[in-house]
Structure 1
Amino acid sequence: MPEYKGMVQPQRATDAEMRKIHIEPVPDELKPEKALEYLDQIRKKFRSFVLAMESCTKCGQCAENCHTYLGTRDPNNIPTNRAELIRKIYKRYFTLEGRWFGKLVGAEDISLDVIEEWYSYFYQCSQCRRCAHVCPFGIDTCEVTFIGRQILHWLGITPKLHATTGAAMEKVGNHTALPKPGIVDTLEFMSEEIMDEFGVEVEFPVDKPESDIMYIPSSADFLLNPYTLMGAGMYFTYIGANWTIPSTVTEAGNFGFLFDQYWTQRGNVMRLLNAAQELGVKKIVWGECGHGWRAAKMYIPSLADRPVRWPITHIHDEVADMIRKNELKLDPGKITRPVTLHDPCNYVRACGLNENMRTIMRACVSDFREMYPNGADNFCCGGGSAILFDDPEMYQRRILLSKKKAEQVRATGVGKDGNGILCAPCSICKAQLYPMVEEHELGVEVKGLIDLVGMSLVWK
């Protein structure tokens, strides 16, 4: 497989598509000036950004710990060099030495070419935060990338995938633009599939008032990952839960977190809270989406326009707790195929889901094989932060970014006989890993963790 060098860029949203998400694109001749204005606002607001700009010593620790660099060997994909794309502008305009000595101290004038570099490399970073995990100073280059993407968005430069997803979320509450009738029909079909395959009667309530639990699935579970949603339905039925799925929020991911943490992310939070209030639920349970869970757990309280009076938990936490209380009977003998676990970056490096995933895994399967490194040390799948671009150049780049993950999976031996399972408990990880296992010929089937719960339940 060839190594791709130089800039590659995802297809960007048109001006009309940007206006659908409340952005008036900035004319090219004004982009450099406006980029500086936005950068100035950011540096005055976030001390963490200033720390990242002024504290890096270029020790290089992040280089061999970045799957993007390991896959592409493009120097600009070394995390410190990626941050340097914006740091050199920061130096030029916001430090004395940069204003006085310019290129002698690594400073550079802002230009359209620089902004194009930002667009290329900030959307090759999957926001996995492994660089922060190993940095001796704790510098989180992911935060720099987030800020770069936000500035690009304000300029009117956003990938088509992200912009159209944001617009669909605002319109119907899921990124596939699936309306309520389509949601209900799909869930009825899943009920029939569960009866045919497992012999269990499962109802998927939609917009059921006064439910104890409001479950937020990934919208991909309606199309690409049906066994994840079927597994959740089987679990809630097994425990006798009074639960519902809100038709207005059928997307666990908050894509605004990945490109626009102001209007888009906040709008998705408001939609969620409105649904909980209108249905009169008591608790919100999140489905399998890594960045979505991080955005929910860490950002909802600060973005909400009202007190958040509902506890918000993850379905993995719920299931693991039931297992520990011996209130959920699972038979690992039902799944004898070898299984390895991919740790989604946002779960293990941001949300502390490490041990709960393993509690569930050990209860569900009889041949669990860890990949190494794992947990918080694990490598990204290569598709994090929704860099799931299908245009030819970016698709090939995605496969390169998955090179390290493919090496990890192969080393476990689970695919040796072509019968293994790669468990990926995150919707975006699944979307990346489906083509990855084919391109790298890994001999495994990708499944979610809640898929395995549904398959191993022992019905009373």
Structure 2
Amino acid sequence: MKIPMLLATADEMRKIGITPVPEGKRVSAALQLLDQYRSFARQLSVMLESCTGCGACAQACHSYRGTDDHHNIPAARAGLMRRVYKRHFTWLGKALGIVGGAPQLDAQTLESWIDYFYQCTVCRRCATFCPLGIDTGEIVLAGRNILSQLGIAPSFMVTIARNELGAGNNTGIPQPAVLDSCAFLEQELRDETGLDIPIPVDKPDSDLLYLPSSSELFSNVETLMGAAKLFHALGVNWTISTTMLEAANYGFLFNLELMKEFNQRMRDTAARVGATTVVVGECGHGWRVARMCSEGANGPLPFNLVNVLDFMAERLSDLALRKLPLRATLHDSCNHARGTGLVDAPRRIMSACVEEFVEMSPNREKNFCCGGGSGLLMEEMLEIRMKLGKMKGEQIRRLLPLDYVAVACASCKAQLPLVLGHYGMEEVRSGGVIDLMGKALQLNRL
């Protein structure tokens, strides 16, 4: 299936430090990059050589079940790289060549990489069901990295990466706008609670640096307000920072060098405000990068790193929470559940904050992706995104009547309302786990 994704121009790529490879040299450059990647990440070779084609991943994949496209079967998608690898980097492929049925890498193959590596949300559900544990998501990320080094990447993702490296957040919000937004939210908190609840910005000598999603300043404000109420109730000396107002790290999704650069900013920002603890907010891949990639990217962390869900779940006994009159469920973010094993904390919070907590089926590490992960939130991909969200829609429909779908990931927060509307469930609300916790908090009882 050809995708309508808009690719970045050469000028856009240069703005993030990538010089595009001329079209006539892309094939040879791609082979060199694949060779470098398999040497750098030896597990790539193991995964490319191990697949038996058993088909266990097919029904596990929301992309295949939503699009009914053979190439979206994880094994088939990985095969787009596997055939190239076997032809050029195994002794049998080199000996038999094209006679053995393994085609050489060509421009058409690179086009197929673009189409299918960007219909995968890197949810890694395939790895959960593969009898050999082959992680097609890692193969997809390798392909995206190679494409980006050739100068091929989505304009949407390149723009976000440039904003992260420039302004320190996805949407390029400048410092004055951050200060204005926080002042507005502080007034909202005052109107709601009658208390002066601060949202500190760039406060020196802070014990804790909170990394929200920048969307919490304009579309997911209930999450930042909820976090502010909870930190206030716990007496935490905290701050956000205008130099890094973003849990997300889009470089992880298509270019590792950009990922490393933005990851370093987390360290620099924590040192600037004096924080000994960094709390990563509601962002799935942002938490995965911080938790799983930081030391490999830039060395040992000089601070305690914790997810906001774990941080709050450990302090439930210190908070006065009432149960909201809601029938609610939890959508497990792929990067939380399968990427870092973060499944218990949100359930402890939900059970403390709503009258009726019901589980999706399947759930935890076997939950289906919402269809909007790995940076695929571009408008031109909306039709495909709705197909990728089909399985999530079916999961939620089985729980009706339902009041609320809680999710601790900014990408999922952007995708789920559209999925709910597309599949005729507009009456079901969705939002953050910390949103609910903030609404359930009884400040007057502390």
Question: Which residue matches 2:314?
Answer: 321
Superimposed CA distance per residue, residues 165-210 of structure 1 (whole angstroms, 9 cap, x where no aligned partner): 1111111100110011111111111111122233332111111111
Question: Which residue matches 1:88?
Answer: 83
Give the 5 Å matches for 1:285-364: 285-304=279-298, 307-323=300-316, 326-332=317-323, 335-364=324-353
Q: Measure, in 2, the Cα distance between the counterparts of 1:434 and 1:198.
A: 28
Which residue identity lines up with residue 353 of structure 2 in the other structure?
C
Pairing 1:121–2:116 present: yes
Q: Match of 1:422, SS?
A: strand
Q: Measure, in 1, the Cα distance between the counterparts of 2:300 and 2:373.
A: 30
Q: Pick from 396, 418, 422 the counterpart of residue 439 of structure 1.
A: 422
Pairing 1:276–2:270 present: yes
Q: Measure, in 2, the Cα distance between the counterparts of 1:169 and 1:184.
A: 18
Question: Which residue matches 1:3?
Answer: none
Q: Measure, in 1, the Cα distance between the counterparts of 2:311 and 2:354.
A: 18
Pairing 1:409–2:396 present: yes
Q: Is the 8 A contact 1:52 1:139 kept in 2?
A: yes
Pairing 1:44–2:47 present: no
Give the 5 Å matches for 1:35-74: 35-74=30-69
Change (3 A) 1:243 1:109: same
TM-score normalized by the length of structure 1: 0.94
Q: Measure, in 2, the Cα distance between the counterparts of 1:268 and 1:216.
A: 13
Q: Is the 8 A contact 1:219 1:250 kept in 2?
A: yes
What displacement does 1:353 show?
A: 1.4
Which residue identity lines up with residue 374 of structure 1 in the other structure?
N
What displacement does 1:446 show?
A: 1.1
Which residue identity lines up with residue 356 of structure 1 in the other structure?
A
Which residue identity lines up with residue 220 of structure 2 in the other structure?
N
Q: Measure, in 2, the Cα distance between the counterparts of 1:313 and 1:163.
A: 28
Change (3 A) 1:202 1:176: same
Q: Is the 8 A contact 1:60 1:80 kept in 2?
A: yes
Question: Which residue matches 1:397?
Answer: 384
What displacement does 1:9 show?
A: 4.0
Pairing 1:427–2:410 present: yes
Where in structure 1 are there 5+ consecutive unaligned residues? 1-5
Question: Which residue matches 2:244?
Answer: 249
Q: Measure, in 2, the Cα distance between the counterparts of 1:339 and 1:104.
A: 58
What displacement does 1:96 show?
A: 2.5
What displacement does 1:220 show?
A: 1.0
TM-score normalized by the length of structure 2: 0.97
What displacement does 1:369 show?
A: 1.2
What displacement does 1:100 show?
A: 3.2
Pairing 1:197–2:192 present: yes
Q: Is the 8 A contact 1:389 1:398 kept in 2?
A: no
Question: Which residue matches 2:160?
Answer: 165
> RMSD across aligned C-alpha pairs, in angstroms?
1.2
Q: Measure, in 2, the Cα distance between the counterparts of 1:242 and 1:224.
A: 25
Pairing 1:368–2:357 present: yes
Q: Measure, in 2, the Cα distance between the counterparts of 1:157 and 1:15.
A: 9
Change (3 A) 1:356 1:106: farther
Superimposed CA distance per residue, residues 329-385 of structure 1 (whole angstroms, 9 cap, x where no aligned partner): 2101xx212111100011111212111110000001101111100001101001111
Which residue identity lines up with residue 328 of structure 2 in the other structure?
V
Q: Measure, in 2, the Cα distance between the counterparts of 1:344 and 1:103.
A: 42
Question: Which residue matches 2:213?
Answer: 218
Q: Match of 2:30, SS?
A: helix
Q: Measure, in 2, the Cα distance between the counterparts of 1:158 and 1:222.
A: 27
Pairing 1:453–2:437 present: yes
Q: Measure, in 1, the Cα distance between the counterparts of 2:95 and 2:374.
A: 38
What displacement does 1:104 show?
A: 5.7
Pairing 1:29–2:20 present: no
Q: Is the 8 A contact 1:61 1:135 kept in 2?
A: yes
Q: Measure, in 1, the Cα distance between the counterparts of 2:287 and 2:308.
A: 10
Question: Which residue matches 2:259?
Answer: 265
Change (3 A) 1:307 1:351: closer
Change (3 A) 1:106 1:143: farther
What displacement does 1:307 show?
A: 4.2
Superimposed CA distance per residue, residues 364-414 of structure 1 (whole angstroms, 9 cap, x where no aligned partner): 1101111100001101001111111201xx210000000000000010113
What displacement does 1:98 show?
A: 1.9
What displacement does 1:95 show?
A: 1.6
Question: Which residue matches 2:366?
Answer: 377
- The number of residues matched between the two structures is 443
Give the 5 Å matches for 1:139-154: 139-154=134-149
Q: Is the 8 A contact 1:9 1:119 kept in 2?
A: no
Which residue identity lines up with residue 261 of structure 2 in the other structure?
G
Q: Measure, in 1, the Cα distance between the counterparts of 2:51 and 2:311.
A: 40
Which residue identity lines up with residue 405 of structure 2 in the other structure?
L
Change (3 A) 1:181 1:168: same
What displacement does 1:106 show?
A: 4.4
Which residue identity lines up with residue 5 of structure 2 in the other structure?
P
Q: Measure, in 1, the Cα distance between the counterparts of 2:194 and 2:209.
A: 25
Question: Which residue matches 1:16?
Answer: 11
